[in-house]
Every structure is written in structure tokens, then in C-alpha cells.
Structure 1
Amino acid sequence: MGCFPCFDSKEEETLNPVKESDVQKPIQPMVPDNISRLTAGRDRLRSRSNGGSKRDLPGPKDVMPGANIAAQTFTFRELAAATKNFRPESFLGEGGFGHVYKGRLESTGQVVAVKQLDRNGLQGNREFLVEVLMLSLLHHPNLVSLIGYCADGDQRLLVYEFMPLGSLEDHLLDLPPDKDPLDWNTRMKIAAGAAKGLEYLHDKANPPVIYRDFKSSNILMEEGFHPKLSDFGLAKLGPVGDKSHVSTRVMGTYGYCAPEYAMTGQLTVKSDVYSFGVVFLELITGRKAIDSTRPHGEQNLVTWARPLFNDRRKFSKLADPRLQGRYPMRGLYQALAVASMCIQEQAATRPLIGDVVTALSYLANQAYDPNTASHGYRSSGDRSRDDRGGRILKNEEGTGSGRRWDLDGSEKEDSPKETARMLNRDLDRERAVAEAKMWGENLREKRRQSAQGSFDGNNG
């Protein structure tokens, strides 16, 4: 990889770990009216840190100005009791910035995950503060909830809701022989949910937030494989006003980092879209982003997959062998079209995450039944299948579109662009049907209210 001359193939190696100063100029984003005084929250953290020593928490440019920390505070003694003094049997795993333990709060009985950050200087404090502030202000069903924090002396701990199913990495990569792989429907559900979490950060948060460390080990799951993004220590506020990017040191995980960000340090929301595309490829293929145990030419997932995107007849080679063919061919084509658009070399050609959410929501809503003879979709819409799993789409009146999906790869154009065009056409149809239904419901409601009003007037 020419972009990363100083790295070896360790998957979890962070980029440029040497502490450098940000070159980003101070940004003054718009702040929601309900957010007040960052300094108050920062001072509360500092007051717990030996009265303001050199290890005081910094006031980085990464966090939202005017923010007030609403998370609960814990003493180190409380969290030590909750985790049975951080005994090995409570250990859940190790992240980029510390160890994670399972615990039970004595005050409420709530089961939690406690992350104890490594006490290795200012950088750890910086990520600690960013994570506390971000998760105190950002709330969404696809983001892990922060319950509280501890800043006793030089101890830095974060308390999260407990996610019983662990990370996506645990269920997707390096599976033991006795563990069942994720089925196709679950993979699409996880991808759609994770994309919705990113969409919230990019489009709903004000100012927008760039996650900067999107990877399979940072996607945690609760019961039912509902995904939530975790570990916000590297998150940055996105560009505002007429700025096109944020300039910062390069941080992240090798294999997931967007090429333009790795080379220039210029960070945009499209950098997250690239990382999402890599994780989505992991979901489709069952392969790691970087795997040094594979043959030369297959160790980098993106480098291996890109040539296969150019010939639809090779698309089946991209499907996880552990699925054993239990996936819809048409769904595979569409999923690969989305992935290929997300990992485009040029950031400008990648889709916005909102468009990705629209596409993946469509795919996730198509329930695939591997027990059907045709191995096709089972969907709530009015559709029929041919004997090879292809579908003839029908409109509300039940007339076919006259277009079959050829699973043998006999389309005139074998590139992902044709697949993407087909996907976009289906999405437009689904959106039009939904809008028509909504319009009809609104019209019926207006008529009902009008009739009710006339009835009341006649009885007045």
C-alpha cells in the first residue's frame, strides 16, 4: 500500500500514533439552542483531576462549543465494586484506548459495560473528553448510550449500556467452526442500522459529526442483532460554512481509512462513507479489511474486490462462502453496487450516507427465504418470481414492468453502474408508491374530517 509506507499489516494499528498538533483552525459551528456552556462540563471534569494538574483534560477543538455534560458521574470505588475489582471473569475485551469490563451498578442493579482507559497521558484524556461530550449530546437508536463517567484522580472510566451480543467482528470474522455465520437478512439489517447511525451523525447532528473510526469492532449489538456505533474518541466536528473539509492528523484503523484522508489529512463525511463501504464489504464477503494470512493480492479487501466489480459473472465470488449460497442473487448484485459506490477512490463520486440508508433500507426490507425453491425474496409488496429467482416488478394495479433480472450475467453492461441503475429504479418506484399511499391516506383523512364537520354542523 503506497499510501501507508510506515505501516505493517496489523489490522488494529492506528495511523500516525505519534502525538502531533492539529492544523485545523478553530471552527465556530452553529449550536442548537438547547446546548449550553461547554466550560461548565469541562471544569466539572477538571475538578476531579487532582485540582488541575498537567494531566488536566484539554479543551479540544473537536468538541461542541457550548455543550453541557449531562452524563452521570461515578467514583472509582463505585465502578470497582460494580466490576468486582476488574477481575478477569468480568473482562469483555480490549479496545483501542483501554479494557472493557462487564459490571452491575450497586445503586440501581443495572448491567453496564465499563471501559477503563489506559493512563498514558494527554491523548487519552483528550479522547475521554471527546467521547463524554459526544455521547452526552448525541442520542439515536443506533448509537451506544453513555450512562456516565469517572474522572477520579488519574483514573478515566466510561460507563455504557451493556450490549449482550458483543461486536459485529465477533459474529463475522474469525468464527470458530462451531459458531453459525450470520444469515443474509441479518447482515443487511446490521448494515442498514449502522448506516442510520452514521446518517444521524452526518445529517441530523448540528454541527455534523465525522465518526472517523468506522469499523466492524466498533459496531456493537444488542438482542436481535440491533447495531449501535460505539467508541467516539476519534470523532470530529465536520466542516461548516463554506469549508469543504476539516484538516487534522490522520487517525483511524489501517484498511478502513479513506485514501484521500490518509494522504492529505483532509477529513469529510465522505471519509466515513468509504469506511462504511469497507465494513459493508466485510459483511458481504466475510473477509477482514486487512488479512495477512491470505495469499498475496487478497490481503487487502478493497484491492481484491475492485477488479471483481467489473464483471457480474464474478459477483458470486464476492459472497461469503459460509453462506453456502443462501442469499438472493439480485440482492447480492444490489449490495455490491452500494459497496462499490462507497469505496470509490474519489470522495466526490461516493454517495451521501442518506442515499446509502435509502438503498440499504430497501434491501433490509426484502426478507429472503432460503427454503423457497427459487431462492428469491419474500416481500410485503406485490411481486412474482421467475424460476431462477429473478423478479417481475409489479405496480399497484398488478401489471408487470416487463423487465426480468437476468441472473446469468447477460446484461449488455457488466459493470456495477448497471446494477446501481437498476437499484435506483427500484428505489424510485418504492418511494413513489409510498408517497402515493401517503397522499391517499391524507386525502381520505381530510374527507373524513370534512364529513365529520358537516355532520357536526347539521346537528348544531
Structure 2
Amino acid sequence: MYSYYDVLYITNNFKRIIGKGGFGTVYLGFIDDTPVAVKMLSSSAVHGYQQFQAEVKLLVSVHHKNLISLIGYCNEGTNKGLIYEYMAKGNLREHFSGKHNESPILSWKDRLRVAVDAAVGLEYLHNGCKFPIIHRDIKSSNILLDEHFQAKLSDFGLSKVFPDDETSHVSTIVAGTLGYLDPHYHSSNRLTQKSDVYSFGVVLLEIITNQSVMAGNEETGHISERVNLMISKGDIRAIVDSSLEGNFDIKSAWKAVEIAMVCVSPNPNERPMMSVVMSELQEALATELARTNHNNGFSVDTEFMP
């Protein structure tokens, strides 16, 4: 645990803001010349302290390459903060909103790698921990990217730990983000792993299309409705982000779209488990890698030979 004095020193008196959200403000800091992100709890944050406690409890016991690492925390009176590893490329949403103008457009290969990373992290929460964990707020702004564009899930303040492996759902007050929130969970208060799967499907549609989650009129406002209309026309190039200029494998793109759409099925029973989503996305990535390797004059096997 770090004292408030430590936090002041680490952040150079909160000199540089690198992000803001409902929880509070995020500052750049340094510990022994290593950059870190310091998220300070705002006194006006609704349920902020409960989320602070939940995140500390979870991240001190759960570790994975595709989950953000908690370095430490400060809990000194009204001064409460979380210290994370620094993710140099920000969050995924920023790359689609134009905030990272200095970064090149994410290629189809890189988008699939980000999707696979996020899927692997979420699958670990569901199946790799002592007890299943539901993230409950999967969205593109909660997927962070390091300097190598490896993706990691973040923001575990709303996460729920299931009491045992046999529990299929918990009844809880609805929480999450509009557009990403599972409509079945919203109407029933029954939280399951499939609630996270729905949210992940929405993120995958963002990755594919580079469209806003909510836009347009009520009938076609949600990204899944808009993509569904385009699917009926059978033109994958009309669905995938036009900034890619068709530079992607068509079979790979269709597979990604199919995965996303089954994830956002209104019926939770029709949604796949994250283990299936992860496997299917890895196949889509392998197909795209085969195309890019062929175009570069390499075979899939020889690219990784010493």
C-alpha cells in the first residue's frame, strides 16, 4: 500500500492528467523511472468507494497477461487511488474516435489480435479463476493497449465473483454501460457469463466496423441492428471499416462478423461461451495471417522458424 505522500511524489503533485472518468482522474506517474497510471477516486463518484474496494480485492488475487496489473493502491482518509501498469497506447475506443491521430489505422490483423487478447482475458475470468468472475462492464474504453498493442481488460469495479462453479447466475441490481449492456440482464436482473459475452460481441462489432455503438433512430440505433441490415445485402466490404480499403481476408472478416452477431443474440442461450468465441477468433486471425504471409512471400510455417 502507498501513502498519499507517496502518490504525490509518484505523480509529481498530479502534474499530468492522462484520463478522466466516472471514477475520477488518471495521472501519469513514475516509480523508479517506470511509468505508471494513477487513478484517484473523486469524492463525487457514485458508489466510488465500493468499486475501489472491489477492484483492489480482485486485482490483488487475479493475474493474467490480458488483465491490467495493479501495482498498488492508496487508502488514506479521503485520498484513495489505484496504481496500475501504464498502457502507452491508451484504450481501444480512442483509436476509433480519432484521439490517437499519431497512430496508424489499426490493420485487420491487429484488430483481430486485440479481439483475441480481450477474449483470452475474459475467458480467463470466466473459467480460469478459482471462482468464475463476471466483468459486467466490457466496452472498448475498458480495453487498454500497451506499446506493442497487446490488449488488456481493465476497470473491475463492477465485477461479480460467483460463489462457486455450479452457480449459473446471480440476481443483482443492473449495472453496466448503455449500448454494451445485455438487454436480457437489464430486463431480468439475472447476471450470467452470457451477459459479458453480449458486451464482448458489441465491442467486436466496433472493432469490425469502426461505428458508434449507439446512433441513428430507435429502430436502427444500435450497432447490431445496423450490421444486421448490412448482412442481408451480403457485402462484407460494406460492413468492415472502410478505412481499411478492403485490405483483409474476406473469409476472416465474415467469421468475425458471424461470431459478433451470435454473441449479441437476444436469447442468452444462443450465445456461445467465451472459450468458443476465443477459439473462433483465433481461427479468423490465422486465416488473415495466412493471407498477409502469402502476400509478403512467406508461408505460415516459415514465418516463425528460427
TM-score, reference length from structure 1: 0.62
Q: In the alignment, is residue 96 of structure 1 matched against residue 19 of structure 2?
A: no
Match of 1:352 in 2: 273
CA distance in 2, matches of 1:303, 1:174: 24
Does the CA-based 8 Å contact 1:365-1:379 persist in structure 2? no
CA distance in 2, matches of 1:241, 1:274: 21
Match of 2:208 in 1: 284
Gaps of 5+ in 2: none
Q: Secondary structure at the match of 1:365?
A: helix
Q: Secondary structure at the match of 2:180?
A: coil
RMSD value, Cα: 2.3
TM-score, reference length from structure 2: 0.91
**The one of 26, 43, 52 aligned to 1:128:** 52
Q: CA deviation at 1:381?
A: 5.8
Q: Report 1:251-262 matches (<5 A).
A: 251-262=175-186
Q: CA deviation at 1:147?
A: 0.4
Q: Report 1:31-430 matches (<5 A).
A: 73-87=1-15, 90-105=16-31, 108-120=32-44, 123-174=47-98, 180-238=104-162, 240=164, 242-291=166-215, 294=216, 298-311=220-233, 313-366=234-287, 367=289, 368-369=291-292, 372=295, 380=300
Write out per-residue CA displacement over residues 410-451 of structure 1, whole angstroms, 9 at most, x where no aligned residue: xxxxxxxxxxxxxxxxxxxxxxxxxxxxxxxxxxxxxxxxxx
Q: Secondary structure at the match of 1:165?
A: coil
CA distance in 1, matches of 2:298, 2:206: 25
Say if 1:359 and 1:175 are closer, same or farther in 2 by CA, change over 3 A. Answer: same
CA distance in 1, matches of 2:85, 2:196: 24
Code of the aligned partner of 1:231: D
Write out per-residue CA displacement over residues 62-108 of structure 1, whole angstroms, 9 at most, x where no aligned residue: xxxxxxxxxxx101111112112112xx1101123111010012xx3
Say if 1:177 and 1:101 are closer, same or farther in 2 by CA, change over 3 A. Answer: closer
Does the CA-based 8 Å contact 1:175-1:181 persist in structure 2? no
Gaps of 5+ in 1: 1-72, 383-460
Does the CA-based 8 Å contact 2:73-2:81 persist in structure 1? yes
After the TM superposition, which segments of 4 or more aligned residues of structure 1 sit over 3 Å from their partners? 174-179, 239-243, 294-299, 370-373
CA distance in 2, matches of 1:308, 1:122: 39
CA distance in 1, matches of 2:267, 2:217: 27
Give the percent of matched residue pairs that are identical in Structure 1 and Structure 2: 37
Does the CA-based 8 Å contact 1:273-1:352 persist in structure 2? yes
Write out per-residue CA displacement over residues 2-35 of structure 1, whole angstroms, 9 at most, x where no aligned residue: xxxxxxxxxxxxxxxxxxxxxxxxxxxxxxxxxx
CA distance in 2, matches of 1:86, 1:101: 6
Does the CA-based 8 Å contact 2:11-2:28 persist in structure 1? yes
The structure that has the greater radius of gyration is 1
Q: CA deviation at 1:188?
A: 0.3
Write out per-residue CA displacement over residues 153-208 of structure 1, whole angstroms, 9 at most, x where no aligned residue: 11110000111111111112345777531100000000000000001000011210
